[in-house]
Amino acid sequence: MDLQTLTYIVVGFTFAIYIGIAIWARAGSTKDFYVAGGGINPIQNGMATAADWMSAASFISMAGLIALSYGGYGGSVFLMGWTGGYVILAMLLAPYLRKYGKFTVPEFIGDRFYSKSARAVAVICLIICSVTYVIGQMKGVGVAFSRFLEVDYDTGLYVGMTIVFFYAVLGGMKGITYTQIAQYCVLILAYTIPAIFISLQLTGNPLPQLGLGSTLIGTDVYLLDKLDMVVTDLGFKEYTTNVRLSGINMFAYTLSLMIGTAGLPHVIIRFFTVPKVKDARSSAGWALVFIAILYTTAPAVAGMARLNLIQTIEPSPGEYLKIDERPQWFKNWEKTGLLAIEDKNGDGRIQYSADPAVNEMVKIDNDIMVLANPEIAKLPNWVIALVAAGGLAAALSTAAGLLLAISSAISHDLLKGMLTPNISEKAELNASRVAMAFAIAGAGYLGLNPPGFAAGTVALAFGLAASSIFPALMMGIFSKVVTKEGAIAGMVGGISITLFYVFQHKGIMFIPGTAFLGDTPANWFMGIEPNAFGCVGAVVNFVIAYAVSRVTAAPPQEVQDLVEHIRVPVGAGEATGH
């Protein structure tokens, strides 16, 4: 059976599963829509959380970033940041927010800081973070469809929007949760099976995590030593020692991703879906286990893919691949625009080098390293079809979680919480579905017309969450002295300085007429790149919040009692939405 037909069958089968689950798990109440009824088993919730978390960035882009843009060791910022954030979430946020027992993050912020204005600011921050993140998921859907199903990017995006619309609008959090469990199974098989095949091919070891540190078949040379040799021969830095720009930038990037992870609303709301406080901790632990399966595999996928790519282009030292003999996978990816060559010296061969004046591989998009890896390694068609289904599952699962966070903020926090507090449950449920539909339409539009500052990375979303939502939650849980004025000023200050820094250095004018600072290390604050600036924004948030709180009236006694109640480890706290 040819690849395209097989891919249609595999992807179509997974879509049928998602739709079937949505029909079975449709929401019948606001509690079902917002928190899946509050009765999800911790293991199931851990699996759904892992799928919610492991987006197109984790599945499609992360290994490519490690392999190409961040040079192996430099890519460890993603592994440490994204997984380390779950430790913070499990220990410092999830159980306390679960005990609080409401539906959304802005609702907690509004109650803790005794202010509808604080709740409104939290909603705005949530929407900015979530919209920035969802753009990357829409791009992932379009890329996967355009390559593997051979439809244009726009058509692929419309199909993905339709699938998400069906199960998210119909089922809300209940439908999304059970769909994400299925999506996790699809994406983890799609990620690990090719890695196992390729590890066996190169090292004879079936575990990619161990294969990365093993010797190549028939030699005494370790895979990483071989990779270091081939990349340095081409003029690149050593794969295993290449630090991302500087030590302080590595630290800032890792910290931004960690606290951004702990502050992303679509992840936090997953812990409102379990029955008890201890289940929130258990869910976070299970999520880490399920996430670790992919995240410990990613370095092996990156290293092996980089080695295979180089050895395809340069089969022997100094002997490069003839352009007219390039393999079919190469031609397939050229059609997508994610891979491009230019015969600069006219010798009919593809020269790959760190020197841009010599390099004839003028474009190798990070996103192709995982998706093209099975084709480069000449794996069976069913494996390639499975990877396509996995990439789509990763993008759709996270997109659904983000869209639910956006629609919940609009229907529950803005509509019920501020504008029409007496709205009936049925009317609120209908409003939630309408809000979800508009959120999907908006995400689709941004996927078709992505803004320049957000289209290339999801790291910005983590920086925005780190600088706005995370400090507000930490201060709300662990401090009795932070006032509503301090919290509002902190959130506004943190997210504003982060957006200003990113926009100025990315070449997008935040304030008309101001000078463009330039996206180069020489112009960065302490050498910190824009995507790593969230931790600085978080510091600004904390400093402003505490400074303003010192000169404003202390929080009411009932609010201080609320903080004490949340932190005392007794009682489960039912998610009531009131």
**Segments making up each domain of the chain, as ranges:** 3-305+380-451
pLDDT (0 to 100) of residue 454: 44
Angstrom distance (rounded) from CA 525 to CA 30: 45
CATH number listed for the domain at residues 3-305+380-451: 1.10.4160
Share of the chain above pLDDT 90, in %: 21
- Between residues 357 and 481, the one the model is more confident about: 481
Find the helix or strand (DSSP H, E) in which 364 lies: strand 363-364
pLDDT (0 to 100) of residue 512: 42
Q: Considering only 139-148, 164-173, 215-224, 430-439, which range has the smallest mean pLDDT?
A: 139-148
Q: No. of H helices and E strands in the chain? A: 26, 2
Q: What is the pLDDT of residues 276-286, one digit of tens each?
A: 878 888 888 88
Q: Is 427 helix (H, G, I), strand (E, B) or coil?
A: helix
- In the numeric block, the tokens 């390099």 are attached to 359
| Main-chain phi, psi angles of 340, to 5 degrees | -150, 145
Q: Give the CA angle between residues 152, 155, 157 to the nearest 5°.
A: 110
Q: Is 349 helix (H, G, I), strand (E, B) or coil?
A: strand
Q: Considering only 53-67, 250-264, 426-440, 496-510, which range has the smallest mean pLDDT?
A: 496-510
Structure tokens that stand for 391 in this block: 């990439």
Q: What is the mean pLDDT of residues 492-520?
A: 66
Structure tokens that stand for 319 in this block: 């002997």
**pTM, to two decimals:** 0.82
Residue 239 is which amino acid?
Y
**Mean pLDDT comparison of 204-213, 426-435, 436-445, highest-scoring range:** 204-213
How far is the CA of 296 from the CAs of 37, 81, 207, in angstroms?
A: 33, 13, 10
Find the helix or strand (DSSP H, E) in which 363 lies: strand 363-364
Residue 154 is which amino acid?
D
Q: What is the mean pLDDT of residues 177-202?
A: 91
- Between residues 207 and 75, the one the model is more confident about: 207
pLDDT (0 to 100) of residue 472: 95
Asked if 138 contacts 447 with a C-beta cutoff of 8 angstroms, the reply is yes
Give Cα 565 distance to the centre of its chain: 33
- Between residues 537 and 136, the one the model is more confident about: 537
What is the CB neighbour count within 10 angstroms for residue 521?
12
Buried-exposed string 195-213: b where 16+ CB fall within 10 A, e elsewhere: bbbbbebbbebebbbebbe
pLDDT (0 to 100) of residue 147: 64
Q: How far apart are the first and last CA of the chain?
A: 56
Q: Is 339 helix (H, G, I), strand (E, B) or coil?
A: strand
Residue 473 is which amino acid?
L
Mean model confidence pLDDT for the chain? 83
Any bridge partners for residue 349, and if so which? Answer: 322
| Nearest of 118, 116, 121 to residue 485 by alpha carbon | 118
Of the pLDDT bands very low, low, confident and very high (cuts 50, 70, 90), residue 216 is very high
Please report, to the nearest 10 degrees, the dihedral formed by the alpha carbons of residues 547, 552, 553, 554 taken in order.
Answer: -10
Structure tokens that stand for 429 in this block: 């449920």
